[in-house]
Amino acid sequence: MKLGLNIDHIATIRQARRAREPEPVTAALMAELAGAEGITVHLRSDRRHIQDRDVELLRQVVATRLNIEMAATEEMVGIACRVKPHQVTLVPERPDEVTTTGGLDVVQHHSAVRGAVAACRAAGIRASIFVDAIPEHVDASRAAGADAIEINTGPYADAPDAQRQAQLARVAAAAERAAAAGLEVLAGHGLNYVNVTPIVRLPQIVELNIGHAIIARAVLVGLDRAVREMVGLLKT
């Protein structure tokens, strides 16, 4: 299973001081050397962490795959079509949220999602959609023309022990449904070094996007070691 490292928090530290460092590009290159097979960033409308120049520089230097998380808005689609990352992942976005807290309601926002997917694919960009483990949202993602979905593992990661198995089963069912429909299946949100293994064992999931847990560990042990340890868990 591949690891896509989300490096938003590197930019969060930089923006806290409006400084020049730490540099997200440097973190991306170090992560690739340590075994990450993709780099993910979320370009938010409020630019709270990742900036436009970051995605432009990352597109030039990332050797694996650059995935830009973004809202399905005209502004973001325009940036994606100009920068041309390897993949975009459409996500919901609320101004007051600390981080993305749930999947995109593809049923409710089908027209906007379908339009964003079509524009990105026309520009040669793979399109993925971050969705909750809900059958209707998986089906709507396929109908919108997406190449892939990323299943929200937050409810699984946050569940009490007594409920975690049920949440895992929901993720597994969504992964099976998506794979049967011809979608590539990714997953992420809330995963860490303790809870990731059951997700790794789901055969339909080919990649995990993980950010906070790895960057938090990197503060204590260094980015190279933190990435290598997670890569090791994903290869077991």
The residues spanned by each domain of the chain are 2-234
pLDDT score at 98: 66
pLDDT score at 60: 98
Q: Which residues are catalytic?
A: 42, 69, 189
pLDDT score at 165: 98
pLDDT-derived band at 93 (thresholds 50, 70, 90) equals confident
Residue indicated by tokens 């593992």: 153
pTM for this one?
A: 0.95
Give the residue-averaged pLDDT of 83-91: 98
pLDDT-derived band at 150 (thresholds 50, 70, 90) equals very high
Give dist(CA 38, CA 57) in Å, integer. Answer: 15
| 154-189 pLDDT tens trace | 999 999 999 999 999 999 999 999 999 999 999 999
| 192-212 pLDDT tens trace | 999 999 999 999 999 999 999
Assigned CATH class of 2-234: alpha beta
